[in-house]
Structure formats: structure tokens, C-alpha cells
Amino acid sequence: MKNKKGFSLIELLVVIGIMSVLTTIVYVSVNQTRSKSRDQERISAILKIKLGLEYYYNLYGQYPQRLSDLYSGPSPLPATSPGKITANDLIPPNGDQNNHGYYYVPLFKTEENSFCNSYHLYTKLESKTSVYDSRSSYNSEGDLLCIINNYTPTDLRINASSSSNIIYDVRPQ
């Protein structure tokens, strides 16, 4: 019997194939985990922004026309307020290739109003199947866009139930 030293070509190819399959599985798993983590970061930011919006409403009796009004503009939130929002809170999570930001739509409930008394705040999630989908299916397309002082916000009204993306959205109670 011959004494074998080393590995045959077939043995090496089998090991390389197994390593490739394992590497692919780990890569896909890590990528999905990162995506879900960014979705959770977005939801956390949306809830913080909602808190700021509600605090703004309690102080001024109306919702701001822009999210930036929460930290700058004519009536920003006080620096010591529990709902304080900064510009950094409005930046989407790192690693987001699709730039799923935060979308804010100031709304009127009726045409007689002279202030923004409602809103639709939402973000698009990366995960195609997400337990974080708010499932509220809110349709803001039929609502009146809040136009005050000649400022017309970008029309970001959306029908969350017919969107091709998974949407996490909030609005006032």
C-alpha cells in the first residue's frame, strides 16, 4: 500500500465548495440582520419625531409645516423640551443604499382651518417582509395639504395600503 501525503484535487474542490456555500449563507444572514437593524433605527426615529411633533402641537396649537421647524425656524422647540429634535435625528441610518428617509406631510382636516392640525409621517422600510410594518394603511392622498404663508410643502401624500414598499407610518391620535 502506498503512503499518501497531501490531498487529492477532488478533496480540495469539495472543501472549497463547502466553504463557498457556508460563506454565502453567512453573508445573506448578516445582510438581512443589518437591513432589519436599519428598519428598527428608522422606526425609533419616527417615534422620536412623532413625540417632537406632539410636543410642538401642545406648545403652539398646530403642527409645523416642515420637520426642520422642530429645531429651527420661527418657533423651534425649546432646547430643554422632552421632544427636542435635532437635524441629526432626520438623517436616515448609515448603510441605507435606497435612501429611505422620513416623509412628513402637514395636513388640514377641513378647508376652514388656518393652521396645520394633522399630519402623516412615514418611512419606507428596507425589509420586504417586516414585522415592523405599521399596517395602518393610511391613505393621505385625499387629505388637504397644509399651505400657510405661501409655503407649499412637497406633496408626499401616499396611500400606504397600495404602496409597493413596506411603510411604517404614524399620525396624530
Domain boundaries, the chain: 9-170
* Per-residue model confidence (pLDDT) at position 14: 95
Mean pLDDT of 95-119: 75
Tell me the mean pLDDT in the region 97-105.
75
Cα pseudo-dihedral 64, 70, 74, 79, rounded to 10: 150
* Residue 138: predicted pLDDT: 64
Higher-pLDDT residue of 82, 15: 15
Tell me the pLDDT band of 118, cut-offs 50, 70 and 90.
confident
The pLDDT, as a whole number, for residue 11 is 92
- Overall size of the chain counted in residues: 173
State mean pLDDT over 32-54.
87
Whether residue 38 has pLDDT greater than 60: yes
Q: Which of 108, 125, 124 is nearest to 116 (CA)?
A: 108
107: nearest Cα among 65, 139, 52: 65
Which cell numbers hold the place of 54? 406632539
Q: What is the mean pLDDT of the chain?
A: 79
Instruction: Name the residue among 120, 122, 99, 117 with its Cα closest to residue 45.
Output: 122
Q: Is 133 helix (H, G, I), strand (E, B) or coil?
A: coil
- CA distance linking residue 145 with residue 160, whole number of Å: 17
